[in-house]
Amino acid sequence: MTESIVASRVIRGRLYEIDTDPSRLDIALIHHFLAECSHWARGIPVDTLQRAIAHSLVFGLYRDGSQIGFARIVTDEATFAYLTDVFVTVQERNAGLGQWLIEAILAHPPLQGLRRWMLVTKNAKNLYLRCGFDELCEKLSYMERFDPAVYA
């Protein structure tokens, strides 16, 4: 197992891996999913995605060497991490791979001891609850500065 592979398992005779090596990422697959299939990054230009990947800790999810999922962490690796752009391709869903990906990210050594993890989700709340995330505490307000036309 190379140093960038953080987890692997065999399910029904197929090898699944989670890897942090950015050179292994299938940018076309990631871009297609985020730009065409996601509600949170629809229309993202490929150069913007590449810049985001270059400045993030990335986790690729692979089946038999082909990418089937992705997640990105924006972090200082000391106090804070923001989990974003998480997906598993439609054909691979409902096999526990998304939860396995999140658990592998949360166990990744450079991300241990962080005071706060954050994410935003529209339809995967139950997945994140199973992985130890919770609603914001009452004393906090989630705030944003959002430009929905930035990719137009």
Domain boundaries, the chain: 5-130
User: How many Cβ atoms sit within 10 Å of the Cβ of residue 27?
Assistant: 13
* Per-run averaged pLDDT (10 residues), the chain, 152 residues: 80 91 97 95 97 98 96 97 96 90 95 93 87 82 87 88
> Which amino acid is it at 142?
Y
Token pair in block for residue 77? 């690796």
Token pair in block for residue 12? 């029904």
Residue 67 CA to residue 58 CA, distance in Å, equals 13
Contact, 61 vs 97, CB < 8 A?
yes
The pLDDT of residue 2 is 57
The pLDDT of residue 1 is 46
Contact, 6 vs 19, CB < 8 A?
yes
Q: Name the CATH architecture for the domain at 5-130.
A: 3-Layer(aba) Sandwich (3.40)
